[in-house]
Structures are given as structure tokens and as C-alpha cells.
A and B are shown apart, each in its own frame.
Chain A
Amino acid sequence: MEHLKSFLDGELDLASKAEVETHLRQDAELAKMSADFSALSSALKGVDPGKPYGLDQLQSRLSGASAAESKKIWRFAGWSSIAGLLLVIAMIPGLRRGGSASDAMYKSSEGADMAITSTPATSSAEAAATPAPMAPTGEAADSMPTESLAGAPSMQAKAAGGFEGGERERGREMLNEAAKAYKPTRLLPAEDEAKLSIGSSTPGAPYGVYLEKSGNVTVEVEDLMRAVDEATGMVTGLKGFVVTSDVQNTANGGTAHMTLRVPSDGFPAAMNKLQAMGEVKQVNSASQDITGETVDSASRTRSWADEEKRLIDELRKARNNDEKWRIRASLNDVRANLEAQRAQLNNLKERGNFSTIQVTFTRGASSGGWAQGAFGDAKNGLGSIGQVLGTIGIYFLVFTPVWLPLAIAAWMVSRRRR
């Protein structure tokens, strides 16, 4: 009689209730059970849970939890702000790099302009000193020697018109067009040009760009002497030579310093081979644009050569000894200058045709090498962390006008909420 308990608790509908009542009247055992259930129920009502305590504590906890929740939100907001700030800081170098990249592109473009213009600039040493016949207003136009357009007067006029509006890009385009249209006169007779030819032109540049390349590489090797021999063999194979070699081999390690000169065309291969000889500790390379110096030197050489030729003609035509002595004296001076210029040009040719590589081979101590390496790595790591923290601190300091008002506002709001 499962409904009995529900009946006693008043949880039955009328029909079921009547049915149970009927059963109770007819069934003595059921009536006894009902009485027992009622007695049990009454007894259970006597359970004493005790006097409640802790409401005050709960209320303070609830307000504390609310404040903590609020604090949590503010803490989250604070950390988010800091994270955002750090993100901005992290992005700034990237943006600056991006800006630098575009600047570099622009400068590179300008550099190309310079390369375009500098070669024609050597067509006349005197022309460099003459005032520009036009007055370009753009930056590119400012850096453009006027003689570069001497062979293309129509383009010069166009370019001048374009620059007056300050349209740098347009000016640069016109400059390039002018440079393409311009046919440079020979600096020297063909044979002298061949003699004076230096360096290698950069592919794609309208006129030659002459670069002096240099590299520096530090490699840790197991056998110093073997590394020196290999480097020497490699340089010789590239038709270069060893300028200096200094080996200090001790029981606890050692170093070998070498200065190598390799043909510029073989510079990348030489650097790669040196780096493949051991564990690279440091490597860098650089290129110096010596185009200006080279074409200037070539121009002066040609001028002195022309002067020498003119004096020789005058010497042939001299009518008396006094005139001959005077011309010979001038000729001696001119030849001295010509030799000096040729020497300088040869030096530039050497610098352009050959690249310099400073290589250092090191060998660590046989025992405790890993410990020293680990110590060195740890020291470098500590230095890096310090540098990073210092950088962050500097950014934090510099950005004080940005974050400090926000932090103060957040603090005041949180305090008011409390």
C-alpha cells in the first residue's frame, strides 16, 4: 500500500484518498502501519538542528566576496591594461622597423638615384662645381647633380618642371628616364678605361655600383691548425690570399686570427665555407659603397691624363728652351699628380675587386668545456634578461603620461565602489 505515506502527508488526490480511507477501515494491519508511520513522523519532527550561528560572519564574507569580485574585475582590467600596454610597446619597435623598412626602401630608391646620377657626374669634374641650371624643389632633385642631365636637355627641362611641384616620386621617375636616355661620354680613352675598370657592376643598376665587401666570422673548431690550413687552401682555391695569420695554440685552448682577401665574386662562398668549418660564434658582413670615390678618382685621373697629353703637345710645339723647361716642370708636376691618382684608383680597384674577411678560429679547453659554455650561456642569458627588463622599464617610464592617469582613474573608481 504505497499510497499510505502520501495519504498521511496529504499528498493524494481525492479519489486516491477515498480509496485509502476505505482500505484503512477494512484492514487492521494497514491501520496499524498508518499509526506507526504517524508516530515515526512525529518522532522525526523532534530532530533538533541546534541554534543557528554564523550569520554575521556570512554577511561580512559576502561583502568581502563582493569586494573581492570587484577587485578581481579591476585586477583583470589592470592586468589587461598592462598587457595591452606591453603589446603596444612590443609593437612599437615593429612599427618603427616597418617605418624603417619603408624608409630604407625610399633611401634605397634614393640611393639608386644617386647611383644613376653619380656616374654621369664624373663626366666633367668642372661641371660639379658649376651652379645648377635648374632649381628642383624635391629631395631627390636636390641630390641630383645637374651634369647628370647634361646629355638630355629635353629631359632636364621636363624634370625641372616636375620638381617645381615638389612631386618627389614623379621627379625620381623622370630622373631615371633622363638617366636612361643619357649616353655618358668616355672618361678616358678606351684602353685607359679598360685599365681603370674597377669592381663589378650591380646587375640591374643603370650605372655601375662599386662595393667594398668585408666580413667578420668567429668559429669554434676542434683543431686550430687544421682550420688554418683549410682556410688557407680555401682562399687559394678562390684565387685570393692570406694577408695575416696569427695562431696561438695552448693546452687549454687557443685562437687563430686570419685576415683573408678573396675576390669579391667569391666572398659569399668564402663566408659559407668558413662558417661550415665549425660552430659559428659570431658572423657579420658589410658592404661599403665606393662608387662615388671610384668615379671621382677616375675622373681626376682622366683630367690629369688629359693635362699630361696637352702639355706633351705643347712641349712638341715649344719654340725655345725656356718654354720647354717651363712646360717640362709643369709636366713633372702633372705626372706626379697623375701617378698619385692612378695609385688611388688602383687601390680602389683593389678594394672593389677583393673583399676582406677577418676570421677567428677558437678552440675551447678540453676539460670543463661544457661547464664554461653553460656558464657563458647563463651569463649571456642573464644579460639579455636584464636588457629586456631595462627596455621594458624605460618604455614604462616613457609611457608614464599614458598609463598613470588611467591607473589613477581606475584606483579612484575602485575606491569609490568600495
Chain B
Amino acid sequence: MLARSYYQYKQFHDQDGIIFSFSGFISEGILFALGDVLKKQLTSEAADPNKIKRVFSVFVELMQNIIRYSAECIGNIEDVSDKLGWGIVIVGFQDEQFYVSCGNIVSEEKATRLRKHLETLQELGKEELRSYYRGELKEKTENLDKGSNLGLIEIARRSSAPIEFDFLGLDANKVFYCIKSYI
């Protein structure tokens, strides 16, 4: 039974062209280790270096979003370098395209802001995304670690199609949030 059930798990991964998946608490250390594996694997498969950079960039922004914004977090929540956020991250290759997707729980308030931001991004073309990015770039920030709107715009700029996203309400203040970017 054990082998059958895990083999099904592997088949699910193979069908979806999954390069790797991770679920659990994510730290900056995990981000670095998985990112390193990702780069090495894509390089060994001789993927186009510019495409590797795009996949890597989307991966980093999504992982850092989980660390910063997952509602399930442990560690030192005041310091992003010492914080762990629970999430799922999947990198795969399907229909001749790479994809990076993630899922984690966020507060209702955060979900509302994310949805608005993602809906805006979905409507924008390449040049519009670029000018949106430029506008956000010059905004003064007090705390560089807090993140900004830049992360999602960066993902949208590197994606070959509008970012897919979905939300599932869990209770009054918890929403499971998913996002998928094709590169």
C-alpha cells in the first residue's frame, strides 16, 4: 500500500511535468537551496539562459511572498531573514512552457488587496507593465524588507501569459490563495 500510494504521488508529479514541489515552512535558507537546485537542473538541461533567469526570478519573488505574507508563520516575524512561512511551491514544465505556482493562506484583508492588484496586472500589456514597474520603482520606501508592489509586477513582466490566480475562503479571516505563472 505504501509503495502504491507514493507511486501515485509520483505519477501525479510526472503528469503535471513537475520539476520539484515543496510544501512546508519556507525560510530564506530553503529559498536559496531550492533556487540553487532549480538553476543547476535547468542549466544541465541546456535551457535558454534568459529563460532560466526568468523562471528563477519568478521563483524568488513567489518564495519571498510566502515568507513575508503567509498567515501560517513561525520564527521571528519581525525579521524576514529569520522568519518561516508555510506554503506550497511547484516548478514544472508543461506544453513547452515552464511554470511556477504557489499556494498559501493569507488574511482576508491581504487577499482583498492581492486580488485587486492581480486583476489590475491581468489587464496590462508588456509596455504598460513596464511603466507601472517604473512608477513603483521611484516611490520612496522606508523599509526595504517590507516588500512592495514590485514583486508581483516583476512576476507579471517575466511571465509569458497573464498570471493565473484563485482564492478559496476558509473562514471569516482566512483565505487560501494560489498563483501560477507561465514562463
Is B one of A's binding partners? no
